[in-house]
Structure 1
């Protein structure tokens, strides 16, 4: 956990009935071995660490866990978004052991929202598949099979992290929705019941905007493939 306060909140929830999910996955987590804000309590003996935080927090979390990571620890991120591999590779500049395997998932395997902080989440949908990239790239198939077994979803190995970066759905969907909602906004305040709902109020026009952004990403990938003879491994875009 990122703070002792958040860790303690989850401990209390676990003690009073467990962490629960509703929606397409109805489950209770009541046998969590360790909840902690101290990386030294859980990471030194781990063979895999999966980071699940927003992209802006990747760097800070990597710096926190750095003293506890050994070269045998595979460091992954879900979702990786663009550039995770560069931030993780900077661990080498600190000195000491450097993880020999990095990996990232292009997106979260589920569409989900927290309904009660520290206690309950609602899972709206399970995604059909998720793309995974790794460094070294040759380790992606084995990692994809392992993560697929852990999460119970189809995980497809990609040949490069660049494919994850160009095909990152967050950089397409979120700006498209924001632009659609606010391109005519001129600073006026919204009444509480008039604040646009980012996903719930999507229009056909919004869909067209998002599709055009997606087409730009695909065109970029195809152009790079044409120039490099397919050497960059961008099939996942």
Structure 2
């Protein structure tokens, strides 16, 4: 990469909560200049935030322009923003399907397309997309979410073939169950049932996902592209 690893400009979409927040905090701690495009909520200390909507190409372009003026061209893009609209197949509406695709898949495309301009010019960059074990493993009631997350794999591999010769890598991180307020709220029996299916026997910590993302963004990962890195305790076994 043309920038030294410390002090790069890192954009993490949806850094206001969950995995995105942990990823942003991890890059801040490493000395990078971190920005986010987010809808609402508070942000970690040291993160430059622009309120925007990834379902709008105009909003994405404006957010990138603001970030570029404040921090400089984006060297690392972590496409993390995502939503769920779980529903059984027979009851799922067109709107529930399309909303999830528009945020999780098309929203990622909009951000990647915009980030690629500066990366191509710089002849270097890191694109990391946050998928899910569900994207490869499937999940009942999650046809929309699984389709959106599986689509990121094809996107990353196509970008790798298109931009790999320009020093740009595109990879996917596929987390499994993460210990969050949402999983904490599950009944103890339900938690036990889920953990029984995970070879590691526990849920992941957000920082374990962030560590995988940070590695893929590093100089050491310059020859890794088009890969899917599961952080799921062995749940998916690469599926």
The TM-score normalised by the length of structure 1 is 0.26
Q: Which has the larger radius of gyration?
A: 1
TM-score normalized by the length of structure 2: 0.26
- Which of the two has greater helix per residue? 2
